[in-house]
A and B are shown apart, each in its own frame.
Chain A
C-alpha cells in the first residue's frame, strides 16, 4: 500500500474489503465517491449511504498493453452501475463469462506494483 494513506479513498477500500461499502449522497440524491467536500453536481452537503451489494456491468475491456504497475498482466477492467453511483475496477474472476449486464460484487484488488484499487467478483461465482 502507498504511504501515507489517502483519506476517503483508502477508507472506502477498507469498507469494500469488509463488505461495508458506502457512497456519498446529497439531499437531492446525487451519488458520488470519496473524498468529497461537497456534491460535485449541486455543491450541497454529503452523507454516507450504504452501497448496494451488487452492481450491473455497464462496459468492460481487457487491457492488453498495461501500464508498468500491471506489468505481466492483462487486467480486465469494468464499470459497474450500483444505482446512485458507478464504480470502475478490476475483475478478479470469471472473465470468460463476463458480459454487459453481469452482476458483480465490489471488493479490493492489488496491482503487481502493490497499489490497492477497486476490484470485482462475479456475483454468480460467489
Chain B
C-alpha cells in the first residue's frame, strides 16, 4: 500500500458571500492548495470533489468537470455527495486512489454556496439530507433532527443546555484569529442560552451557520513527494467510513452514532493508533450536541460522558484534548460540501505549525478529522500523523 502525504492545503474565507459563484470559490481554494503544494497542475491525476446542495442552490449538476476547469486541471473529475460528509467521502476516495497505486497526485476538495438563496430555501435544501417520506414531509428540519437527538440524550444521560452552550463558547473562542473563520468573536453562555429557539432544546447559537466557501488539498504518494523533494510532513495514515439508517426512527438508539463508531474503528486500525494516542481533533459540530456525540462515537469518552467535556475544560485550547481548534463548524463555518476537507486543511496547518492556534499543540503528532452527513447516517474518520 502506498503512503499518502498532504502536499498542499488551502481554503477560501468562510463567510456569507452570496455574490460569489461556486466555481469561483472552488477555483480559489484549489489555487491556494496547489500553490501551497508546489505540484505542477499537469501532474494532477484526479479531482475528487464534494458538494451537497448545488443542484438546488445553483441549479448546477455535473459539477466535477466544472470544478476541474475552475482549478485549471484536465484530470478526470467526479462530484461526491453524502450530505454534510460529501467532503469527507471525496477525501477518502482520493486517499484510496493514491494508496492503491492507481495515481500519484489527487486534488481533493469541496464547495458549498447557500447564501444566494433564502434561509427558507437553504433550510429546505439541508433537510434533503433526511428521509423525505418519513422525516422531511413530517416537518423534521436539520436542526429539528438534532433537537430530537439532544432531548433523547438529556433523557438518557442527563445534561443541560448550559453544558451544550460550553461547546459553542469554546469553539467561538478558538476561532478568534483564524482568518478564514466566519465568526471571529467570542460569545458567552448567556448569549447561547438566551438566543432564539430554533428547535427546542436547541437555540440559534447551538447551531453552525450557513456558510459559503471552499477547501482543497493536494494528496501525493510518498514516492512522488520524495522524488519531487516536496515539503509534505503530514501523512494520512488512517481512513474509515461508516453508514447508518438514514431515518432516525430506524435506529436502535438516538444517542449513539454507530456510523462514527465504525468509521473510527476502521481508521484507527488502519493507522495503528488507539483513541488514547490522539492529540487533537476536528469533529463535526454542526450542532453543539453533535460534538458530544462525536467524541463518544470516536471512543474518546464513554456514552453519556462527553456532555461536560467542554464545561470541564478537557476539550478547550488548554485542555488535555483540544477539540475544534479551528473554531469548528460552529464558528469557522460549515460550507457543507467543503467541510470534510476543510477539517483536514486546518489540521494540516495545526500540525505543520503554520496555524494561528499551532502554539496550543506544539508537540502534537496524531490528529483526527471526523466528518458526518445528515444525522450521522454517513461518517468519515481520517487519522493524520506527522512524519519525517
Contacts and interface: CB of A to CB of B under 8 A. Distances in A.
B139 A75 contact: yes
Contacts of A89: 138
9 contacts: A61-B144, A61-B148, A61-B151, A65-B198, A67-B120, A68-B120, A89-B138, A90-B139, A117-B138
Contact of B137 (A59, A65, A86, A111): A111
Contact of A79 (B121, B202, B248): B248
B230 interface: no
A79 B249 contact: yes
Contacts, number: 106
Given A75-B139, A86-B249, A65 B254 contact: no
A77 B119 CA distance: 21
A15 interface: no
Nearest to B149: A59
From B136, B202, B250, name the one whose CB has the most chain A CB atoms within 10 angstroms. B250
A117 B139 contact: yes
A67 B127 contact: yes
Contacts of B254: 58-59, 79
Interface in A42-81: 58-71, 73, 75, 77-79
A40 B139 contact: no
Interface string B329-347: 0000000000000000000
Main DSSP-derived SS at the B contact region: helix
Given A59-B254, A79-B148, A100-B155, A65 B139 contact: no
Contacts of A61: 144, 147-148, 151, 199-202
A77 B152 contact: no
Range, interface on chain B: 35 or more
A87 to B, nearest CB: 6
Interface of B: 119-121, 123-124, 127, 133-141, 143-144, 147-149, 151-152, 155, 196-202, 245, 247-250, 254
The 3 A-B pairs at the shortest CB distance, nearest first, are namely A75-B139, A61-B147, A86-B249
B120 A59 contact: no
Contacts of B199: 61-65
B249 A65 contact: no
Contacts of B247: 88
Nearest to A8: B133
A32 B134 CA distance: 12
A19 interface: no
A113 to B, nearest CB: 9
Contacts of A63: 139-141, 143-144, 147, 199
B197 A88 contact: no
Interface string A22-43: 0000000000110000001000
Contacts of A59: 148-149, 151-152, 155, 254
